[in-house]
Structure 1
Amino acid sequence: MIKNIIFDFGDIFINLDKIKFANELQKLGISQNDNTFTPILNEYEMGLISTEDFINYFKEKLQVSSHEIKKAWNCILLDFPIERLKFIKKLAKQNKHRLFLLSNTNDLHISWIQNNWGMDLYNEFKTCFEKFYLSHEIHLRKPNNNIYQFVLTENNLQANETLFIDDTEENTSAAAMLGIHTWNLIPKKEDVVDLFTKNHI
């Protein structure tokens, strides 16, 4: 029986444009097929370096402006469909499951979301969850198994009573290895609001 649900953020609640993101980074000289920048990207996602240091690193390496970096970096973020907010608010109100958010999210992205949505909407969304875990705040990232173990241990969750929903197969596969039930949601083909109607629980 599923008692706990752990949700990803991007392409589960807020829509993402990963193709545009890859293209805009490519224009700056950051290829997702090139592992040169992977260490710095992972460090930033885990909050191990500051936004200022992150931007300065690419300004020096690529000879681009702060504005160009921020614009390219945030172009991945799109809209937050209202039906998804209604869904998670209803689920929280029912109080039948413990709800958690677990996202690989960095400081620039969460700052953009807070500014774009406004803090009232952001907090309205955030309070639907018992815990709201962002990788740059807990210094862990998916798909490393220690991030899943951290959430299970800190909240006394049993893996076989927990469902994890994420749009990235690498992340759900890692969680499944710990015995967590998973739904690798396919964006544009599936929607989190269909969690119960499509028999994922």
Structure 2
Amino acid sequence: MIKTLIFDFGDVFINLDKAGAMQNALDLFEEKELPEELVAINTLYEQGLLETEEFVSFYKENFPKLSEEEIIDAWNYILKDFPTYRLEFIQKLASEKKHKLILLSNTNELHINWIKEKVSFYEDFKKCFDAFYLSHEIQLRKPNSNIYEFVLNENNIKPEESLFIDDTKENTEAARELGIHVWNIDETKEDVIHLFNIKKELF
């Protein structure tokens, strides 16, 4: 029986435009594909191993034609709307107190600052959770197994009594290997609010 629900943030609660953000970045940087060095820097930043100032400075040095504002706008391009019906869904779950609720997201300071500014109910959303983990704050990142082990240990929960919902296959496969039940949500045709219908065999 599932006692703990572990949710990703992007494309589970807040909508993302991954393809649009990538194309926008490639156009801006005049690249055909994202160089490995940029991927590595982005990963370090997401894991909290680079300060925002260092991160932005790196891009300014490598793309001197771009302003700081253009760089930050390009970085935040991926973030779209957060439908209020998903807030209502998690608020209902929180009020029922049937499950421990955990958020586990690969994110970074610039993104979370944008969300705090643009999503008026961010604090209401955050307080629905028993634990709220952002990769840059805990310096751990999905799909590395140590992030899942951290969540299990910190909250004294059993993998077989936990369900992890994430839109990235790599992330759910890593969790599955530790014995955690998973739902690799397809954001193009599934919605987290239908969790108890889609995964009814677990409840």
| CA 1:31–1:13: 2 relative to 1, 3 Å | farther
Matched, 1:13 2:13: yes
Per the alignment, residue 47 of structure 2 pairs with 46
Per the alignment, residue 179 of structure 1 pairs with 179
**What are the ranges of 5 or more consecutive residues in structure 2 without an aligned counterpart?**
none
Per the alignment, residue 103 of structure 1 pairs with 105
Secondary structure class of the residue paired with 1:141: coil
Distance, in Å, in 2 between the alignment partners of 1:114 and 1:187 is: 23
How many residues of Structure 1 are paired with residues of Structure 2 in the alignment? 199
Asked if the contact 1:165/1:183 (under 8 Å) is kept, the reply is: yes
Distance, in Å, in 1 between the alignment partners of 2:85 and 2:161 is: 26
Deviations 1:21-41 (A, max 9, x none): 101111232665532222211
> Where does structure 1 differ by over 6 angstroms across 4 or more consecutive aligned residues?
none
Per the alignment, residue 115 of structure 2 pairs with 113
TM-score with structure 2 length normalisation?
0.95
TM-score with structure 1 length normalisation?
0.95
Asked if the contact 2:4/2:157 (under 8 Å) is kept, the reply is: yes
Per the alignment, residue 160 of structure 1 pairs with 160
Distance, in Å, in 1 between the alignment partners of 2:160 and 2:153 is: 13
| CA 1:22–1:158: 2 relative to 1, 3 Å | same
Secondary structure class of the residue paired with 2:133: strand
Asked if the contact 1:25/1:31 (under 8 Å) is kept, the reply is: no
The residue identity in structure 1 corresponding to 2:23 is N
Per the alignment, residue 61 of structure 2 pairs with 60
**What are the ranges of 5 or more consecutive residues in structure 1 without an aligned counterpart?**
none
Asked if the contact 2:26/2:34 (under 8 Å) is kept, the reply is: no
Q: Give the superposition deviation at 1:53.
A: 0.7
